[in-house]
């Protein structure tokens, strides 16, 4: 099935032709109810999507498209544990990890909730022991530093959350993330640490990932310079599906926290992969994160499509990608502590929907996932916003705006918020030639000089954005926000008829490096690859060994 053949898609195509020159500025001028019409709340989170190139009819047509692909059916299939990850034959149940209602969720006839709850209880006991000093390092000292060793889904989510909930961090305990196999990452982290008070969390769903195992082995060697083999049990714990490999590495499986194959890496921060979060900010705050995500899950599962935040955000993305031809989506949080939020979203979206094959294996001819990028405001304004305002591409922006800061300076926060709002307003309104002319005249410019400068100062406007606004970045709100984007990605995958839950492109990377590694050993030149790769390998050997 291709969405291009769906009547509702074709109807949207015609609608696009009618609407492509319509001006948001005019729509706002004509309709004072536009904000009310185009906002959705999920309790204390508000999405304002009024600054988009849409009319009431656009939304009706997008919803009709969602109905035509059986969006509600797909949502239900995911929540109820059907094996919708068809290429790996797996259910997709990150929602069960934060199923605070505890209602049974069945996979192959078995309720997964008892196992989910058992691991949460194990995490709680362990975190409490570390926090209250019942779990001590080999020399009897309290743990002061946690190093998470993991990569991709076993790193980005927990690292982003730990940054974002810094105000909730437990005093006396720091958390560090080592992901890159570039030895600089591990070395510069360990340089600051004391082995007597450092706990390593080796986080790998498969426990076969080269980068993570290499870093874990080097971390253990570093540790063993100061301690003995029997001390490893007090300083190394693992999160994995693979007990055998964990034991083979030398970690006591009593110190292993289980995850399951129905949790995708990029959706795993809600599982024991979130252990560094719970260690950093306490299990109570980790559970608050789960509570917020669960609230968004309920919203997604039960709200009608027209009032459903992930559905509307997903459909707006489809509108720009498939009809306006947008290729990228910026996510710009006006919160310094969300600096890593766009990176997590980048993996979530690009790994899930970066696909050119549909569910049934046919190559597809329409655009799927966009390039996701962004950095915190206001910094981005002084860098790439130029292109968003005056470049030749249409780049939809999500502005993420917490109203209150955790930090005391009210003046900073007002300036930050004013900037965020000003950007979305300017993108929508632009600045036309008459307005620029009036400004230049006021500045005393006239004649040729005025005419020469004028076109450069015109802003086309009509550039779309969403604003997500909330009172404060609490753990619950963070959970809600991440779950919102997870479901948005799911909505788009359903429209495009792709499996958003496999990642063969990532698997390819894992195989390729393993094949080249032996060729880099000292010895005679090799000639087994294409001329570029062969020459680069031989150059590397020359530079390393001669």
Which stretches of the chain bind ligand G6Q, using CB under 6 A?
151-154, 204-206, 209, 212, 264-266, 351, 503, 506
Looking up tokens 């260690």, which residue turns up?
279
Closer of 352 and 462 to ligand G6Q (Cβ): 352
| Distant-in-sequence, close-in-space partners of 468: CB < 8 Å, separation ≥ 6 | 45, 46, 47, 398, 399, 400, 401, 481, 484
For every residue of 260-295, DSSP letters joined together read: -TTS-GGG-TTTGGGHHHHHHH-HHHHHHHHHHHHH
Residue placing its CB nearer to ligand G6Q in the complex, 62 or 498: 498
Least distance to ligand G6Q from the beta carbon of 340, Å?
15
> Do 367 and 355 form a contact (C-beta atoms < 8 A)?
no
Can you tell me the distance from the alpha carbon of 479 to that of 239, in angstroms, rounded to the nearest whole number? Answer: 21
**Minimum distance between the CB of residue 19 and ligand G6Q, rounded to whole angstroms?**
36
Helical pair 504-516 and 210-224, crossing angle rounded to 10 deg = 60
Say whether 240 sits in a helix, a strand or coil: strand
- C-alpha to C-alpha distance for 276 and 407, rounded to whole angstroms: 23
Which residue has the CB atom at the shortest distance from ligand G6Q?
A: 152
C-alpha span between 259 and 271 (Å, rounded): 7
Query: In this complex, which beta carbon is closest to ligand G6Q, that of residue 352 or of residue 424?
Result: 352
Taking the least distance from each CB to ligand G6Q, the nearer of 133 and 505 is 505
Report the nearest approach of ligand G6Q to the CB of residue 278 (Å). Answer: 18
Strand partners, 467: 48, 399
- CB–CB of 238/201 below 8 Å? yes
Tell me the catalytic residues. 351, 382, 510
Shortest distance, position 66 Cβ to ligand G6Q, whole Å: 25
Q: Which is nearer to ligand G6Q, 5 or 511 (CB)?
A: 511
Task: Let me know: does 416 contact 373? Beta carbons within 8 Å.
Answer: no
**Closest approach of Cβ 367 to ligand G6Q, in Å?**
22
The least distance separating ligand G6Q from the CB of residue 371, rounded to whole angstroms, comes to 17
Q: What is the Cα–Cα distance from 14 to 499, expressed in whole angstroms?
A: 28
CB of residue 154 to ligand G6Q, shortest distance in Å: 4
CB count within 10 Å of CB 509 equals 12
Report whether 265 contacts 8 (CB < 8 A): no
Cβ distance to ligand G6Q smaller for residue 206 or 390: 206
Closest approach, Cβ 298 to ligand G6Q, in A, equals 24
Is the CB of 81 or the CB of 153 nearer to ligand G6Q?
153
- DSSP E strand boundaries for 173-240: 174-178, 198-203, 236-240
Query: Left (φ > 0), alpha (ψ -120 to 50) or beta: where does 533 sit?
Result: alpha
Q: What is the CA radius of gyration of the chain?
A: 26
Question: In a 3-state reduction of DSSP, which class is residue 518?
Answer: helix
Rank residues 216 and 495 by Cβ distance to ligand G6Q and give the closer one: 216
| Tokens at 130, concatenated | 């570390």
Report the alpha-carbon distance of residue 483 to residue 489 in Å, rounded: 10
Q: How far apart are CA 295 and CA 477, in angstroms?
A: 10
45-48/465-472 β-pairing: antiparallel
């Amino acid at each position: 099935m291709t969405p291009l053949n769906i009547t509702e898609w074709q109807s949207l195509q015609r609608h696009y032709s009618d609407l492509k020159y319509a001006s948001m500025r005019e729509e706002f001028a004509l309709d004072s109810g536009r904000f009310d019409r185009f906002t959705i709340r999920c309790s204390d989170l508000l999405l304002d999507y009024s600054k988009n190139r849409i009319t009431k009819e656009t939304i009706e047509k997008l919803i009709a498209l969602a109905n035509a692909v059986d969006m509600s059916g797909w949502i239900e299939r995911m929540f109820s544990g059907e094996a919708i990850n068809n290429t790996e034959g797996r259910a997709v149940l990150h929602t069960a990890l934060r199923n605070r209602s505890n209602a049974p969720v069945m996979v192959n006839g078995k309720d997964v909730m008892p196992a989910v709850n058992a691991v949460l209880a194990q995490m709680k006991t362990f975190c409490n022991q570390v926090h209250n000093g019942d779990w001590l390092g080999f020399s009897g000292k309290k743990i002061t530093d946690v190093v998470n060793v993991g990569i991709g889904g076993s790193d980005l989510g927990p690292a982003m959350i730990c940054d974002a909930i810094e105000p909730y961090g437990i005093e006396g305990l720091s958390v560090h993330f080592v992901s890159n196999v570039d030895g600089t990452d591990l070395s510069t982290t360990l340089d600051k640490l004391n082995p007597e008070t450092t706990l390593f969390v080796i986080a790998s769903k498969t426990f076969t990932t080269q980068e993570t195992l290499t870093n874990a082995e080097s971390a253990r060697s570093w540790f063993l310079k100061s301690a003995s083999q029997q001390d490893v049990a007090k300083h190394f714990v693992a999160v994995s599906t693979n007990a055998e490999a964990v034991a083979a590495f030398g970690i006591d499986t009593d110190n292993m926290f289980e995850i399951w194959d129905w949790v995708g890496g990029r959706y795993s921060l809600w599982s024991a992969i979130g252990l560094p979060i719970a260690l950093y900010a306490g299990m109570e705050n980790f559970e608050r994160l789960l509570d917020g995500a669960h609230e968004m899950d309920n919203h997604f599962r039960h709200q009608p499509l027209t009032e459903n935040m992930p559905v509307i955000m997903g459909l707006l993305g489809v509108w720009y990608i498939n009809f306006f031809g947008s290729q990228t989506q910026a996510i710009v949080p006006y919160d310094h502590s969300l600096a890593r939020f766009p990176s997590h979203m980048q993996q979530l979206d690009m790994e899930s929907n970066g696909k050119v094959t549909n569910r049934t294996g046919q190559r597809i001819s329409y655009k799927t996932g966009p390039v996701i990028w962004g950095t915190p405001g206001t910094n981005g304004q002084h860098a790439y916003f130029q292109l968003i305002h005056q470049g030749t591409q249409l780049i939809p922006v999500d502005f993420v705006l917490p109203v209150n800061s955790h930090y005391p300076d009210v003046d900073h926060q007002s300036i930050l918020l004013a900037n965020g709002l000003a950007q979305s307003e300017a993108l929508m309104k632009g600045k036309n030639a008459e307005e620029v002319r009036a400004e230049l005249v006021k500045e005393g410019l006239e004649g040729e000089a005025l005419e020469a400068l004028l076109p450069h100062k015109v802003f086309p406007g009509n550039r779309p954005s969403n604003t997500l606004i909330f009172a404060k970045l609490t753990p619950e709100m963070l959970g809600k926000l991440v779950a919102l984007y997870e479901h948005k990605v799911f909505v788009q995958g359903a429209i495009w008829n792709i499996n958003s839950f496999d990642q063969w492109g990532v698997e390819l990377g894992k195989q390729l490096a393993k094949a080249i590694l032996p060729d880099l050993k000292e010895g005679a030149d090799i000639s087994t690859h294409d001329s570029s790769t062969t020459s680069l390998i031989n150059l590397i050997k020359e530079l390393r060994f001669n």
